[in-house]
Amino acid sequence: MEQSRVGRGVQAATVRPVPGHPILQVTPVGVSEGGWLVAADAHLGLGSFRPGQPSPPGAQPEQLAEELLNVAKSTHTSGVIFAGDLKHQIVGMTPPVRREVFDFCSALLSAGFSVDVIPGNHDVGLARGLPREVRLHSVGGFRVGNVGIFHGHAWPSNSVLRSATLVAGHLHPGFRLAPSSDGPGGKFRCWLRVELPPPVRDRRRRKHGPIRARELLVLPALNPLTGTESLNRSAPARYRTFLWKRFVLRGTTRAYLLDGTDLGPLRPTASARTDSRRGSAAAPGP
């Protein structure tokens, strides 16, 4: 497994969501061009497990790649980082899914962008379908300067936990609002920004250092057809492992639509907080 040199020598970086897109821009401080785009939960191959059955419109790899390429060109970034769940098929890859993954990454590489991937819970066996130029990291994530990036299904490394800002995916955050032309079902993808409390060592994870980051940004799913959680109505399905209980519930959280609309504080349901205090077991998220 090749270890990426991305972020080495970068002492500080700024992060900002790209308006209108479920994509984050990470830019080294004092640099006018360059940096990276960060996206999560592409779920390539959604609906295309069988030969001759393409992914549905909106989830097709060429559409997702085109969105990333357009944003990368407009923001003058030079690389793309995927924070987990690049593919949808959890274990292994059928030939159609492997082709979608390979073609998707090849489109970014051919345009001159570097590609780094942090495996998510859906990415078992992903390495066999990646072009050799793609740099695959460990599930503990990695740092770009003072920004720590991980997926959210596996506990981040101590190096990531020491970052000033954390970035994760996995939750597929969304809000249920009145139906509109942009969201006929009333569900809208959204960002979560969590202000974290002062560092406290987690007694359940004694071999890990304390969480020193002061904020966490949770990415919306890149693929618009994946399941979206209505976080203003209920807790995430199966609580999405530790990310919800050990981070979101412990911090002060606000939600934002893709266009930047501030949806206000996220107030988890009383049942979600009660279950968290009881320490209920959390199954792996979808």
Going from N- to C-terminal start, the domains of the chain cover: 13-278
Residue 277 pLDDT level (bands cut at 50, 70, 90): very low
Give CA–CA dist 150/159, Å, rounded.
11
Q: Say what the pLDDT of residue 58 is.
A: 67
Q: Say what the pLDDT of residue 65 is.
A: 93
Q: Say what the pLDDT of residue 231 is.
A: 85
CB 183 within 8 A of CB 224: no
Chain segment 221-269, per-residue pLDDT in tens: 999 888 888 887 777 765 567 888 889 888 899 999 999 999 999 876 5
Residue 2 pLDDT level (bands cut at 50, 70, 90): very low
Residue 24 pLDDT level (bands cut at 50, 70, 90): very high
CB 78 within 8 A of CB 115: no
Comparing 19-28, 103-112, 239-248, the range with the smallest average pLDDT is 239-248
Burial letters 95-128, b for 16+ CB under 10 A, else e: ebbbbbbbebbbbbbeeebbbbbbbbbbbeebee
Comparing 105-109, 118-122, 203-207, the range with the smallest average pLDDT is 203-207
Residue closest to 156 by CA, chosen among 146, 168, 145, 164: 168
Distance of CA 39 to the CA centre of its chain: 5
Comparing 26-35, 37-46, 125-134, 231-240, the range with the smallest average pLDDT is 231-240
pLDDT of 51 above 60:
no
Q: How many helices and strands in the chain, by DSSP H and E?
A: 5, 15
Comparing 33-37, 64-68, 261-265, the range with the smallest average pLDDT is 33-37
